[in-house]
A and B are shown apart, each in its own frame.
Chain A
Amino acid sequence: MEFLLDIINNPYYEQVLTMMGIYLIAALGLNLITGYTGQFSFGHAAFMSIGAYSSALMTLKMHTPFLVNLLAGGLIAAFCGILLAFPSMRLTGDYLGITTLGFGEIVRVLFINMEITGGAIGLAGIPKETDFVTVFVLVILSVWGLYRIVNSRFGRALAAIREDEIAAETMGVNALMYKVESFSIGCFLAGISGGLYAHSLQYINPSDFGFAKSFELLNFVVIGGLGSIPGTVLGTAVLSLAPEFLRFVKEYRMLIYGALMVAMMVFRPNGILGGVNLGDLFRRLKRRTKPPAAASGGA
């Protein structure tokens, strides 16, 4: 707690951690889509941008309360997610990925061309409403919600689709519906994340949300470990803080970042926590820290 307070009192750390939390919310949404349901999405940042623009415009033009705008941004992103998912969820794997990527680019170009969004210049003067505490609470809520989802009949259906879609269908799972639902829930989280982003940086423009950002989110999820909630938290933390830690290498920063991505994949293709059951791990650790009598077995 003391430590947390210290961090909040240091504006630089606070900003870094706030951004990390914001990305984490979007990444958790992507983890539901890709990690749990097994569907590729290479355009997740576009849904962030939809949430960001919607909520920022509501704040600027309608002066409705921040939390209402945030929620509306999430819902609009979820709705767009449904619109995209219905036709495209028939596609699988890379085809779905490339379609979502294309959708993301189209959204970006649309925002560049729309007047109300300020075109390529973007929207400025968004009031600062996002603070660390709000983000922290929303992260906790998202993690909690995701845990409940994956440990339910609904979540099992998603996992079944990921494991074997044909078998899932013959077990009675309406795969298309579930994929659309999972996709739109993921997009909802992206929209919330986008709203927080807009009201934190106070300025957004379409190039903030290109496919580079989408792939960054995908990196968080894959490097953390697909289908692992702690993995996504860790992946987002490591990768979004890495550029900060790598500041000392100055211009070589992104060079190292790129090489690191390759190395991480080559050495841990399933991500840092992929295939690791944290519950088991803790139990094993506990056993190991107990008196030697219990220290039998182990690898």
Chain B
Amino acid sequence: MPVSGQPAKMTGECRSMQPLLKLEQVSINFGGLAALESVDIQVERGKIFSLIGPNGAGKSTVFNIISGIYRPASGRVLFKNIDITGRKPYLITDLGITRTFQNIRLFKNLTVLDNARIGCHTRSRAGFIGALGRFKKVREEEGLIRGRAMEVLEVVGLTEKSNVLAKNLAYGDQRKLEIARALASSPELILLDEPAAGMNVLEKQGLVDVIEKIRGMGITVMLVEHDMKFVMSISDYVAVLNYGMLIAGGSPDQVQNNPAVIEAYLGREVG
């Protein structure tokens, strides 16, 4: 089935570049419900790509498929031209994709610092023997991990709270820690699932800065967010999902004026 306004339409300068991430005809269903139907997405390097749509449209499902938590019923996911469809999540992280979760999934009983340190897992090696031996190499690696962890905490502004247990953080800080934890793995692509949810205006402004910083590091951002002002102000490209299908895509301006999008949001009570 042809999908109108699919994001595959590219400008000339982009066609020469391989997209960083490509979803081809991805479908998945839960029981009888078709959560995604033949979704095509292309995310270009260095851009901020936003995925919007009403509740239950399938946005988080897209993230779950990209990060390997769900396996699509059909279709392919390509990252840097490597087929990662159905790969284990930890292997996908290894390749350079990380994410945050809509319903915060921090390691609650660990400290902020430890949460960030676990984020460095893929970029370090020491195992059980190293743990017992604490050889020089291991100690050096621990030093690097700690340094990296403090660095990403700095990015989101949580350095001060590095020894607090994650569960004792304020809600907005928990969301920031999720971002820091994801950044720690030095990804090329980061998936942010509703990072602004539950944040106040001030925190949201801080978040915009953080996302800009992330882009500044050369990391590509995929964003799911309900706050339209937030999305439209920050995105390079916006794709709209409705009932598991892509109904529009383009620059923030194009999407905002697209009748199909307005229909989708007005057709259902705006949430």
Contact residues of A with B, CB < 8 Å?
145, 148-149, 151-157, 159-160, 163-164, 166-175, 181, 185
Q: Does B76 belong to the interface (CB within 8 Å)?
A: no
A152–B90 CB distance below 8 A:
no
Report if A174-B101 is in contact (Cβ < 8 Å); known contacts: A149-B132, A159-B114, A167-B107.
Answer: no
Name the residue in B68, B90, B185 with the highest tally of chain A Cβ atoms < 10 Å from its Cβ: B90
Report if A173-B107 is in contact (Cβ < 8 Å); known contacts: A153-B126, A153-B130, A156-B118.
Answer: no
Name the residue in A166, A169, A173 with the highest tally of chain B Cβ atoms < 10 Å from its Cβ: A169
Report if A164-B128 is in contact (Cβ < 8 Å); known contacts: A153-B121, A169-B89, A171-B181.
Answer: no
Interfacial chain A residues near B122, Cβ < 8 Å: 171-172
6 further A-B pairs in the complex, CB-CB below 8 A; given A167-B107, A171-B98: A152-B130, A154-B130, A164-B105, A166-B89, A169-B93, A175-B90
B185–A148 CB distance below 8 A:
no
Contacting residues of chain B (90-146) with chain A, CB-CB under 8 angstroms = 90, 93-94, 98-99, 101, 105-110, 114, 117-119, 121-122, 124, 126-128, 130-132, 134, 138, 141-142, 145
CB distance from B189 to the nearest CB of A (A): 13
Contact residues of B with A, CB < 8 Å?
67-69, 88-90, 93-94, 98-99, 101, 105-110, 114, 117-119, 121-122, 124, 126-128, 130-132, 134, 138, 141-142, 145, 181-182, 185
Interfacial chain B residues near A172, Cβ < 8 Å: 90, 93-94, 121-122, 185
B142–A160 CB distance below 8 A:
no
CB distance from A228 to the nearest CB of B (A): 12
CB distance from B185 to the nearest CB of A (A): 6
Q: 5 A-B pairs, CB-CB below 8 angstroms?
A: A148-B132, A153-B142, A155-B131, A164-B108, A170-B89
Which chain A residue shows the least CB distance to B122? Answer: A172
A156–B117 CB distance below 8 A:
yes
- Distance in angstroms between the alpha carbons of A163 and B68 in the assembled complex: 20
Choose from A153, A163, A166, A185 the contact partner of B124 (Cβ within 8 Å).
A153
A160–B107 CB distance below 8 A:
yes
A154–B110 CB distance below 8 A:
no
Interfacial chain B residues near A157, Cβ < 8 Å: 118, 121
Interfacial chain A residues near B105, Cβ < 8 Å: 164, 166-167
- Distance in angstroms between the alpha carbons of A145 and B131 in the assembled complex: 8
- Distance in angstroms between the alpha carbons of A164 and B104 in the assembled complex: 11
Interfacial chain B residues near A159, Cβ < 8 Å: 107, 109-110, 114, 118
- Distance in angstroms between the alpha carbons of A44 and B109 in the assembled complex: 26
Interfacial chain B residues near A169, Cβ < 8 Å: 69, 88-90, 93
- Distance in angstroms between the alpha carbons of A18 and B122 in the assembled complex: 42
Closest 4 CB pairs of A and B: A172-B122, A152-B131, A163-B107, A172-B93
- Distance in angstroms between the alpha carbons of A167 and B121 in the assembled complex: 12
B118–A170 CB distance below 8 A:
no
